Amino acid sequence: MNVITATRNYLVVGLGATGLSCVRFLRARGQSVAVVDSRATPPGLDVLQRDFPDVELTTGAFSAEQLKSADILVMSPGVPLATPAIKAAIDAGVPVTSDIELFHQNFTGQLVLITGSNAKSTVTSWVADMARLANKAYVVGGNLGKPALELLDEPADLAILELSSFQLELLPPLVSSVATVLNVSEDHLDRYDSYEAYRQAKLRIYRGAQQVVFNRADALTQASLETPARSFGLDAPKGDDFGLVDVAGDLCLAQGEQPLLPASEVALPGRHNLANALASVALASAVGLPQEAILASLRRFKGLPHRCELVATKAGVRYVNDSKGTNVGATLAAVEGLGREAPGTLILLVGGQGKDADFAPLAAPVNELCKAVFAYGEDGDLLAAAIGPLTQRLDTMQDALTAAHQSASDGDTVLLSPACASFDQFRNFEHRGEQFRALVEALA
């Protein structure tokens, strides 16, 4: 299907991988395309010049007049709609679209949409693994992996898309087979006017959904909808919801009163990953994936790098890389998920750029479950002040790991879950996690 029926002047706002995918998609359909980017040398510049030498690129401060001259703005999610020149163009009546909307207009299969402050990549990848084991023709991407428009090149009747709040800001209601908000906790408050504005951006995912999956333990994931809905949670489920039940002393994943699998057989460790497992089961069931494939995936899926990833065990001490823990909610999930296994044996490394977050919610669970905390980086002082005397302040992640290693003993777990962005000392969270892994492997 191709809904573009007339030639228009598209202006792609922001290059990078998403912007390039938009240029390719639109040019392949005979459209007039230009690109603007506020950066002098944006990512993807070399590819654009090589593959599309005739596409005009304007760099530097955005021009409201140039934006107003376009027929349609194709927004990259990293560029806020509140940017003055962009807002002026929108106020002047220039319509806005995005790669996700263009993908939706050109994809005819089932669509699973996933968002949340945390765990969305894990759940997206887990549902994809279930689809793979079911021999389903599927694609997976969006905010994870390939840009959505590149997925149209692959034959598929199921698309599983992870969406960020930035992507959701740009979208009209999308007809999806099922949509979920896994959880909501403070994040990106350097971009949003309020916590509620951030939450409302997340909840946009439910508009147009044929089914909704929400977290019954998190009221912020719930919205007033007439759409059929099922929930997941770590308590006993009712009706057709998903949760945990006790079967002869064994904790089991269940749908309603029907046990599905002993929790001990789920491959990913940590209680928080039982919630991720239940969310994945709910989504996969909503699009009709067979239970055999769903349960097989629960037993084998090992998770993604930098998300509570066991790096090594040395002298009886486990070293866990949760570099993707870039906000307070993610770190709370990791501390609760791993710390409940053996309270008082967890050593936590936190630090980086806090994105104006409130670190106070860390204090009670960290002081209850952790043996020691080492805070480093740009907002290390704020973290130390919020968590309290349990915390020692250091300069770098390497310093924090060295101190943690020296204080750890047999049976302890050293957890990197920074509660912050990485950009003060690293290129991104992947770089931070890779450096942590290398440092751990070098430990005597």
CB 431 within 8 A of CB 422: yes
- What are 51's two structure tokens? 């593959």
User: CA-to-CA distance for 270 and 335, rounded, in angstroms?
Assistant: 9
Facing residues of 58 across strands? 36
Which tokens in the block code for residue 225? 């909808």
405 is catalytic: no
Q: Which of 104, 120, 306, 355 is catalytic?
A: 120
Q: Active site includes 327?
A: no
Taking a C-beta distance cutoff of 8 angstroms, is the pair 83, 132 a contact?
no
Q: How far apart are CA 395 and CA 407, in angstroms?
A: 17
Q: How many CA atoms lie within 13 A of 325 on its CB side?
A: 28
118, 136, 143, 405: the active-site residue: 143
Token readout for 359 is 């670190």
For residue 296, what are its two tokens? 């097989």
Burial of residue 8, with CB atoms counted within 10 A of its CB: 0-12 exposed, 13-18 middle, 19 or more buried = middle
Distance between CA 108 and CA 187 in Å, rounded?
A: 33
3-state DSSP call for residue 243?
Answer: strand
- Give the bridge partners for 32, in sequence order: 9
Give the integer Cα–Cα distance in Å for 383 and 401.
Answer: 16
Inter-residue contact 122 to 102 (CB < 8 Å): no
Instruction: Please pick, among 188, 272, 324, 371, the residue that the annotation labels catalytic.
Output: 188
CA distance 352 to 355: 9
- 115 has which bridge partners? 181
- Reduced to 3 DSSP states, what percent helix, strand and coil does the chain have, rounded to the nearest 5? 35, 25, 40
Identity of residue 115: T
Q: Report helix angle 16-28 to 99-106, nearest 10.
A: 40
Name residue 228's beta-bridge partners.
none
Determine contact, residues 307/322, Cβ cutoff 8 Å: yes
2 flagged as catalytic? no
Catalytic residue annotation: 120, 143, 188
